[in-house]
Amino acid sequence: MIKIPEYVQSLKAYKPGNLMDLSDLKVEVKEWIKLGSNENALGPSPKAIEAIKEASGIVHEYPDPGAGGLIELIAEKYNKKSDQIICGNGSNALIQHIVNAFSDVNDEILTASGTFVGILVNTWKLGRKLNLVPLKDYTYDLDTIAEKINPKTKIVYLSNPNNPTGTMFSKEQLEAFIPKVPKDVLIIFDEAYYSFCEELDRYPNGMDYDLPNMIVLRTFSKSHGLAGLRIGFAVGPEDLITTLYKVKFPFEPNILAQAAATAAIKDDEFVKEVVEINKISLKMMMEKFDELGIKYVDPTANFIMILLDSEDLAAEFAKECMQYGIIVRHVNSFGVPNGVRINSATVGQTEYVIDMFEKVYKGI
């Protein structure tokens, strides 16, 4: 019999939160409105689409293993050295590489209990231990996290804004936290949703911090609309980035992803449009939730998390939304059992979904 490590046996296979149930629909669904995965409602930049079409003619070739052209653009945009940057198959893959490279079996990864499941799964599947600190007002409790650092702690993971709650800790809070972290403990600073809050004065932009023990993560999945191509990047000290190249897949990310991201990173006008539509959509949703008396957490990303009275009601709300062609995410697996995460949409989609939210809420 093939031996399977206990920490692998204990894992559960990923189950997407947007499975479509076609039974007993209450309306004729011509097009599903997917609001459960924090995807970009406007899709990708037209420039990225053109780049994909052009690159499709060379998919018989292996991609640039170092994503050199894209990394040069990232370095120029953020005033970094190319040697400080690595690209990978999205933030999730980069998290896996970081945990693999900078911790060992039975080392501890420290983070919040209601945060991005990617850090949880990548910790468990590599045989590391999780040390979880409860959220405080649905955001990171940085003071308590600092107190929980111990000799076994090798990595502290911070998601800002946080997924699934949408909350954000401030520049002042981060800068008070950093000196409390020993220099031999790595900080992963995950900024998947930075585009939606970088204009805020209190936002701690990770690119402003050149620390020997911090790696900043960014992705093209959200504001750039390239989730289906799986591409992101990490920025950090040259010695840590060099180490990451030892553990990442040689031809990661793929040739279409590199081409699309190279075009998308130059399309600032598209990102501005995405951010503006996001503000409008979330404002419409918040006004409806206020009208209905539905509690929610003030959003700083491209989604909003509503809070229902129980886990059962949250599950029922998500289930009933599907009967009207709307996919939202019950975030019990993220550590918020009574929460439902809903990402922003186009204005037309938002007009429809807020009417359906009212119908569903009053019916459960």
- pLDDT tens digits, one per residue of 312-336: 999 999 999 999 999 999 999 898 9
Name the average pLDDT for the chain: 95
Please state the domain extents for the chain: 15-44+269-363, 46-264
Q: Kindly state the average pLDDT of the residues 39-59.
A: 97
Indicate if the pLDDT at residue 283 is higher than 70.
yes
**What local confidence, expressed as pLDDT, does residue 2 receive?**
84
Cβ pair 300, 200 in contact under 8 A: yes
Q: Give me the CATH topology for the region 46-264.
A: Aspartate Aminotransferase; domain 2 (3.40.640)
CA Rg, the chain, in Å? 20
Sheet with 153-159, side-by-side order of all strands = 85-88, 232-235, 214-219, 186-190, 153-159, 108-112, 129-133
What's 15-44+269-363's CATH class?
Answer: alpha beta
Domains 15-44+269-363 and 46-264 share a fold: no
**pTM (two decimals):** 0.94
Q: ∠ at Cα 339 (334, 344), nearest 5°? A: 95
Which residues on adjacent β-strands are paired with residue 188? 157, 215
Indicate if the pLDDT at residue 71 is higher than 70.
yes
**What local confidence, expressed as pLDDT, does residue 23 receive?**
55
> Could you tell me the pLDDT band of residue 1, with boundaries at 50, 70 and 90?
confident
> Could you tell me the pLDDT band of residue 194, with boundaries at 50, 70 and 90?
very high
What's the rounded Cα separation, in Å, for the pair 230 and 338? 30
pLDDT digits (tens, 9 = 90+) for 97-112: 999 999 999 899 999 9
Indicate if the pLDDT at residue 253 is higher than 80.
yes
What's the rounded Cα separation, in Å, for the pair 11 and 237? 32
**What local confidence, expressed as pLDDT, does residue 31 receive?**
80
